[in-house]
Amino acid sequence: MRKHIATLKTHYNSVLRKSLSTQILAALEAHPAFRAASTVLLYYSLKDEVDTHTFVQKWSKKKRILLPVVVGDDLELRIYTGPEDMATGSYGIEEPTGELFTDYATIDFIAVPGVAFDLKGNRLGRGKGYYDRLLPRIPSAYKAGICFPFQLVEEVPAESFDIRMDIIITINEK
């Protein structure tokens, strides 16, 4: 499934990905759970993901924004303070260098990237298990899978211990 989605991604140039990202993130910011949240865990996108860079910066002025940092086999969370406090980390991902955040109970909303999602809220990641280890530590947060329309598939293989998303946010292509 990962290879199939990777092939589909090649049909989407950067202009189309940017346009779709804008629409998807508009749907995200209109969602009542996002609007009500004060502490939000986002992600700083890779080039083939829904582009969150501008979105992170925009909302950091209104909400406490957290971003993950890869440390060994786990994700640590850090408070995003601005583009000047970002450094290239593992996998070439820009990561915040700010203050470590461990008060998981105060996280209201999580935007979760993935390779694929299904309508039941199951998620297929990149295979390293980072979010599989992180999400159980934040059980009370509202979890939204964020993806391009072609990443929404009929069924994602899931185990009983996998944490489902509360909603999948994408757009309907016309």
pLDDT tens digits, 10-21? 777 777 888 999
The 10s digit of each residue's pLDDT in 37-62 is 999 999 999 888 999 999 999 999 99
Cβ neighbours, 10 Å, residue 53: 13
pTM of the model: 0.92
Residue 159 corresponds to which amino acid? E
Q: Tell me whether residue 159 is exposed, middle or buried, using C-beta atoms within 10 angstroms of its C-beta: 0 to 12, 13 to 18, 19 or more.
A: exposed
> Is the distance from CB of 5 to CB of 150 less than 8 angstroms?
yes
Q: Which residues contact 112 (CB under 8 A, 6 or more apart)?
A: 43, 123, 131, 135, 143, 144, 145, 146, 165
Half-sphere exposure of 73 (CA within 13 A, CB side): 5
Outline where DSSP puts E strands in 85-171. Answer: 86-88, 94-96, 100-101, 109-112, 116-118, 123-124, 142-146, 152-153, 167-169
* pLDDT over 50 at 174, yes or no: no
> Is the distance from CB of 166 to CB of 33 less than 8 angstroms?
yes
153: left (phi over 0), alpha (psi -120 to 50) or beta: beta
pLDDT of residue 173: 53
